[in-house]
Chain A
Amino acid sequence: MTNTSAQEIAAAESGNREFLVFSLGDEEYAIDILKVQEIRGYDNVTRIANAPDFIKGVANLRGVIVPIVDLRIKFRLSSAEYDAQTVVIVVNIAERVVGMVVDRVSDVMTLSGEQIKAAPEFGVGLPLAYIEGLGNLGERMLVLVDIEKLLTSEEMALVDKAEENQQ
């Protein structure tokens, strides 16, 4: 986890990076595969009182208590339904483990440097600040998400702000 930056640099030098592709509603998104710990089903989530609606609660991941967020609710991307296909991508960010609910995980893609384009100023569901770029795959377009920035952001309310810790 801590050496991801080194790996990223190495990957950037070779020009190829691997991404996990998943979908939220009709859009296809992708995150750096190095941040992904595992993929699991959605079950046994304990609700947390007085938390924002997109925080579904916490789940037990082999003894580790992991918060589960639903990006579909947070960014109003699709109706949040939970069925056999609903999956949780468990990611490792900033020394934390977080699960995020997505509609479907499709595949793992390797993108070269030329295939990654800067994100234009248009609505793709997620705020622009959390988008690294767009992946061009012929007729398919992937929105590359900076998952670390997104999940540690204040609006996700997953991390205590420093001053709250003081009290």
Chain B
Amino acid sequence: MDITEFYDTFFEEAGELLAEMETHLLELDVDAPDPEQLNAIFRAAHSIKGGAGTFGFEALQRTTHLLENLLDYTRRGELALRRDIVDTFLEAKDMLNDQLEAYRSGSEPDPEALERICQTLQQLALEEIGEVADVNGAAPKPAAVEAVPKPAAGEAGQPQSDGAGGGYRVVFLNVAEKDRQLLIEELGNLGDIKGQSGGAERYEVTLSTSLSADDIEAVMCFIAEPEQLEISPLAQAGAAADTGNAGQATAGTAEEKSSEKVEEKKAASPKTSKPGRSAAAKGAGGGESTSIRVPVTKVDQIINLVGELIITQSMLNQVASEAGDQVHGKLEHGLNLLARTARDLQEAVMSVRMVPMDYVFSRFPRLVRDLAGKLDKEVELVTEGRSTELDKGLTERIIDPLTHLVRNSLDHGIESPERREAAGKPRCGRLTLSATHQGGNILIEVSDDGAGLNRDKILAKARSNGLPVTDNMPDDEVWQLIFAPGFSTAEEVSDVSGRGVGMDVVKRNIQSMGGHVDILSQPGQGTTIRIVLPLTLAILDGMLIRVGDETFILPISGVIESLQPQKEDLYPRTGGDLLLKVREDYLPVVAVHRVMDVRGAVEDPTAAIAVIVQGKGRRYALQVDELVGQQQVVVKNLETNYRRVPGVSAATILGDGSVALILDIADLHRLSQSIKENPIFGAHEAARSRQEAETV
């Protein structure tokens, strides 16, 4: 697996971000810009810059960096917006689009246009802020082609021969002595070195290993350039010369067309390689015969049908149980068998959607290497649990938050080699990415052995940001402060991090996936950030609740407890608010029947059930009539044929074939606020709840 596989994802994401940026820019009220919108624009630029940096898209990174600087000034109110400034931003956005298109089609963006837009942005910065924007902020990066770690055809001939000899001849061309030692050392870790000879120009190593050429190359390419490597299977020494030549021949063209190389690499041989999507299984090593590539939509269709099967099966069961004694023994036996097979089938189908975390982790070696170089730090990246599986949809969404965390660890966590030595630690810092399963969750950890979080600094910064803090807050709560928007304790803004975007976005992203983040930190020993995520979004553990004669579903992950409210614990407030005292906390009560407009529900809170829920970091109580039970439900999108419904995240189908709505815990609270803005509560009340909504 190599980084080029993620180009498509990046292009898609960046495209969406740019579209979003444009919408916000266009909607922006120049005289009184909405801070949230400015933040959104800034975040979009920041995210694109991060991605561009990861993939080595230099022009894109340079432009976004300049744009981001300006946006940061606007965001902080130091640069007053004018129509023409917004126009310049839009122009820059268009330019970014062009650059993205260029990279997507595998060419370099127009350098003249790049100079022009950079000039414009620098000029703007100079005139408005009186400082020269940091031209070199985006340090010159190796060109995009370097991200492609191998000549296309060098590998192309191998899938057939992989199993044959169990060994390879690895040739280093013009590799420096120091690097060569490293390479040989690495090869030693991969298998048995049978022999080595040669000089600086050409050095041959014969390696006996069970690994594929792909794997060897993946390790090597962190040290040497792909052009410097030739890996050929021992059994086919003759053929190796051919593929070597072919590799040389295609290398020239492939360098300009990095995106096509991915496709070529997947093709079975140089002759059949063609631009455009190849249907061949990804990865070499004889992967073709044991795996097939299937569009996700097809898998989803099967999952859908299996979901239906389960529903039909539970309908049959219900009918059988209603029929009671009249059910024939054999029929009952058959039904039981059906139930078991259906569940197994569902599990098997769900596992198809699962991909190993390797898909995510393999992005990081390059990022860590580049960043460490840029920051003059020595960092060793360790990944654990690469084979831990996670839903495909989630792996894609976890990449951005993880990237932020890794960047933060490198920038703020791990100290410079000198400082590490002074503290009695090895010069080389250690960054560990790990993934493990824990029940129905996956636990992903980013840990470093750096300086740890600085409690005093965080508290001081929180105070200056106007956050309510005290000196004797427990550590846990202090660490959570870094998730507040705009929070950064970095003294200087760098290309890497420190602008205070990121952590709040990380937390929001993870929460939107139904997960949460914890931080463990020891001064001087390092920081561990732990992300807990559900394994899949396609199935959800739900709590069925009844309100009036309607059934709703709450995601169990958001439910803390349920209780029957006592009269003395209820505190009605003016304006219709109701607070419920649960132990030491006063929680607002949101009545589901009111938000979801259900008639015939229990009005008296003491006759109802209060379900304490947590959503978006806010705890509150939901008033429902009855708890019906717990059940795994298949999540169905409402937006496929309808539209987003406030307070509802999705729908599912119950055993009786009817549709039940899955409530969105975070959104319900917001909804109850906006319902209160109803004019009957008077202007004062409306203003108050609006204010409250804004502070959420």
Q: How many Å lie between the Cα of A20 and that of B636 in the bound state?
A: 30
CB distance from B665 to the nearest CB of A (A): 15
Q: Give the CA-CA distance A48 to B663 in the complex, in Å.
A: 12
The contact of B642 among A44, A58, A60, A163, by CB within 8 Å, is: A58
Q: Given the known inter-chain contacts A63-B305, A65-B642, A65-B651, please indicate yes or no for A46 contacting B658, CB distance below 8 A.
A: yes
| Residue from the set A46, A97, A160 with the largest chain B CB neighbour count within 10 Å | A46
Task: Name the residue of chain B whose CB is nearest to the CB of A166.
Answer: B23
Known: A49-B647, A65-B640, A157-B643. A60 touches B657 (CB 8 A): yes
Interface residues of chain A, those whose CB is within 8 Å of chain B, are 44, 46-51, 57-60, 62-67, 96-98, 157-160, 163-166
Nearest CB of B to A130, in Å: 19
Contact of B304 among A63, A67, A97 (CB under 8 A): A63
Contact B661 A48, beta carbon cutoff 8 Å: yes
Note all chain A residues with C-beta closer than 8 A to B504: none
- Contact assessment for B20 and A166 in the assembled complex, using a CB-CB cutoff below 8 Å: yes
A96-B305 Cα distance, complex, nearest whole Å: 18
Q: Is the CB of A60 within 8 A of B643?
A: no
Are B661 and A160 in contact, CB atoms less than 8 angstroms apart?
Answer: no
Q: With A and B bound together, what is the CA distance between A98 and B641 in angstroms?
A: 7
Query: Are B643's CB and A46's CB within 8 A?
Result: no
Say yes or no: is B637 at the interface (Cβ < 8 Å to chain A): yes
Give the interface segment out of B381-389, B479-487, B590-598.
Answer: B590-598
Q: How far is the CA of A36 from the CA of B650 in the complex (A)?
A: 26
Kindly state whether residue B664 has any CB partner on chain A within 8 Å: no
Does chain A have a CB within 8 A of B550?
yes
Whether the pair B641, A46 counts as a contact (CB closer than 8 A) is no
Q: Chain B interface: which size bin?
A: 20 to 34
Q: How far is the CB of B326 from chain A (nearest CB, A)?
A: 26
B178-226: which have CB < 8 Å to A?
none
Q: Does residue B30 face the partner (Cβ distance < 8 Å to A)?
A: no
- Contacting residues, chain B, for A64 (C-beta < 8 A): 304, 636, 640-641
A63 to B308, CA, bound (A): 6
Least Cβ–Cβ distance between B671 and chain A, in angstroms: 8
Chain B residues in 8 Å Cβ range of A47 = 550
CB-nearest residue of chain B to A49: B596
Q: Which residues of B contact A (CB under 8 A)?
A: 20, 23, 304-305, 307-308, 311, 550, 595-598, 636-648, 651, 653, 656-661
B35 CB → nearest A CB, Å:
16
CB < 8 Å neighbour of A96 from B20, B597, B640: B640
Flag if A65 contacts B636 (CB, 8 Å). yes
CB pair B644 A164 closer than 8 Å: yes
**Cα distance A49–B550 when bound, in Å?**
11
Q: Which 3 A-B pairs have the closest CB atoms?
A: A49-B596, A46-B659, A63-B308
Chain A minimum-CB-distance residue to B309: A63
Cα distance A147–B656 in the bound complex, in angstroms = 31
Residues of chain B within 8 A (CB-CB) of A57 are 659
Give Cα A60 to B642, complex, Å. 13
B598 touches A63 (CB 8 A): no
Q: Say whether B659 contacts A65, CB under 8 Å.
A: yes
Whether A158 pairs with B643 at a CB distance below 8 angstroms is: yes
15 A-B contact pairs sorted by A residue (CB < 8 Å): A44-B657, A44-B658, A46-B658, A58-B638, A59-B659, A60-B653, A60-B657, A62-B308, A63-B636, A65-B651, A65-B659, A160-B644, A164-B643, A164-B644, A165-B644
Shortest beta-carbon distance, A161 to chain B, in Å? 9
Query: CA–CA, A58 to B597, complex, Å?
Result: 16
Max chain B C-beta neighbours (<10 A), residue from A64, A157, A158, A163: A64
Q: Kindly list chain A residues whose C-beta atoms are within 8 Å of the C-beta of B647.
A: 49-50
